[in-house]
């Protein structure tokens, strides 16, 4: 049978109310008595009913985190930062992944709300506007979106996408590349659309070669993306460089180049949006736009704290600048474009 507060009080030889005061810090209890209570809790294996406590105090000291893909290193790093920051404010975190499924995302968010989390930090998936967003508006639970944004009614923290991709395209163009492909990821989410628009505008403004087949979108978790890259690279005219829109897309690019027997950067240049710890093991190391997971995580927790204290404040958007880290995957700056591709 479950150990009760009364069981603890009997072992500690104090009243049940004294045990409650020790657990909740609601009244001063002398150190000897407090120690007897703590010893009794350990001896009996008593587990405090935090749900009942949260009902009384209107706060559970918990935060729910929902990410679109928990296997993505970008989200793993942000979750780590959020967990550290939440602990500083005396909160525990619950973490779950929607796996890019808006119905599953809604189920998770409902479960968090039913457990009376104090707030939710989450990265929406495609279709969130038809499911979770409407529920969250009605529930009025404090919410901060990270990475992706749906609507204008919620706080958001994420990297600046449009200008960052333009910066990366310009970097490749300055190297002498005029044929640049883009692996963009899921359509219909804010990060993808902003990065695609930055890519298209940069191609136009820099007068680079345009080809609709060089913009590849889709589920980065499936082989079909690398298969599309292989088809493009077997066409009469092929890109001289690829940009991967996220670290998961790098897998697809590497898989395709390996299948074709191409070398980086001798046969094809590669750059990416998003860094990752295991990038040091690639040879050559990949030029990337780095997103500060540390800044995003810290700012998300800070925004959530503000939202909890002031539910009616205007929605805030915090854009975090990216940093271009130049490595070896784009080769040396070249002027003789005839040598860029051996297979053309």
Give CA–CA dist 37/40, Å, rounded.
Answer: 5
CATH of residue 96's domain is 3.40.50.2300
Q: Do residues 182 and 44 share a domain?
A: no
Q: Do residues 203 and 334 share a domain?
A: yes
151 within some domain: yes
Tokens representing 60? 């559970």
Q: Do residues 96 and 111 share a domain?
A: yes
Give CA–CA dist 10/40, Å, rounded.
Answer: 9
Domain of residue 22 covers: 5-48
> pLDDT tens for residues 21-66?
888 777 899 999 999 999 998 888 887 765 555 545 556 889 999 9
Burial 62-76 (b: 16+ CB within 10 A, else e): bbbbbbbbeebbbbb
Distance of CA 275 to the CA centre of its chain: 13
- Residues of the chain scoring pLDDT < 50: 55, 335-344
53 within some domain: no
Q: Tell me, what's the pLDDT at 202?
A: 97
Q: Do residues 331 and 187 share a domain?
A: yes
Check residue 38 and give left, alpha or beta (phi > 0: left; psi -120 to 50: alpha): alpha
199 within some domain: yes
41 within some domain: yes
Q: Tell me, what's the pLDDT at 339?
A: 37
Q: Do residues 167 and 111 share a domain?
A: no
Count of domains forming the chain: 3
Q: Tell me, what's the pLDDT at 275?
A: 74
**Which residues are within 8 A (CB) of 256 and not within 5 positions of it... i.e. 6 or more apart?**
226, 227, 229, 230, 233
Give CA–CA dist 195/178, Å, rounded.
Answer: 19
149 within some domain: yes
Q: Tell me, what's the pLDDT at 344?
A: 33
> pLDDT tens for residues 284-330?
888 999 999 999 999 999 999 999 999 999 999 999 999 999 988 99
Q: Do residues 311 and 331 share a domain?
A: no
Q: Tell me, what's the pLDDT at 58?
A: 55
Q: Do residues 265 and 133 share a domain?
A: no
54 within some domain: no
Q: Do residues 38 and 139 share a domain?
A: no
- R_g over Cα of the chain: 26
Paired with 180 in beta bridges are 241
Instruction: Give the Cα-Cα-Cα angle 64, 66, 70 (nearest 5 degrees).
Output: 130
Question: Taking the model in full, what pTM does it have?
Answer: 0.79
205 within some domain: yes
Q: Tell me, what's the pLDDT at 223?
A: 65
Q: Do residues 265 and 300 share a domain?
A: no
User: CB–CB of 303/144 below 8 Å?
Assistant: yes
Q: Do residues 225 and 76 share a domain?
A: no
Check residue 58 and give left, alpha or beta (phi > 0: left; psi -120 to 50: alpha): left
Q: Do residues 42 and 176 share a domain?
A: no
344 within some domain: no
Q: Do residues 37 and 17 share a domain?
A: yes
């Amino acid at each position: 049978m479950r150990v009760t507060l009364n069981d603890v009080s009997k072992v500690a030889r104090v009243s049940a109310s004294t045990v409650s005061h020790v657990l909740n810090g609601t009244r001063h209890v002398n150190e000897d008595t407090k120690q007897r209570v703590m010893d009794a809790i350990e001896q009996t294996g008593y587990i405090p009913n935090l749900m009942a406590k949260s009902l009384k105090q209107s706060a559970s000291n918990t935060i729910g985190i929902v990410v679109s893909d928990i296997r993505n290193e970008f989200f793993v790093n942000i979750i780590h930062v959020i967990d550290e920051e939440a602990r500083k404010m005396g909160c525990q975190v619950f973490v779950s992944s929607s796996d890019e499924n808006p119905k599953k995302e809604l189920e998770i968010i409902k479960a968090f709300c039913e457990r009376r989390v104090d707030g939710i930090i989450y990265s929406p998936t495609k279709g969130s506007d038809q499911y979770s967003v409407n529920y969250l508006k009605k529930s009025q639970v404090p919410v901060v979106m990270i990475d992706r944004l749906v609507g204008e009614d919620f706080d958001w923290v994420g990297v600046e996408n449009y200008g960052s991709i333009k910066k990366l395209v310009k970097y490749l163009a300055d190297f002498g590349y005029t044929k640049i492909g883009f692996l963009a990821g899921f359509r219909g989410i804010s990060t993808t659309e902003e990065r695609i628009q930055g890519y298209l505008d940069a191609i136009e403004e820099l007068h680079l070669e345009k080809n609709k087949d060089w913009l590849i979108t889709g589920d980065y978790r499936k082989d079909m993306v690398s298969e599309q890259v292989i088809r493009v690279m077997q066409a009469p005219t092929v890109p001289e460089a690829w940009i991967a829109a996220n670290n998961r897309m790098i897998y697809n690019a590497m898989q395709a180049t390996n299948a074709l027997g191409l070398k980086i950067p001798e046969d094809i240049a590669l750059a990416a949006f998003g860094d990752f710890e295991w990038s040091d093991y690639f040879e050559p190391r990949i030029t990337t736009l780095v997103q500060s997971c540390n800044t995003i995580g810290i700012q998300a927790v800070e925004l959530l704290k503000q939202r909890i204290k002031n539910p009616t404040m205007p929605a805030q958007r915090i854009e975090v600048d990216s940093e271009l880290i130049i490595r070896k995957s784009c080769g040396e700056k070249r002027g003789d474009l005839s040598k860029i591709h051996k297979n053309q």
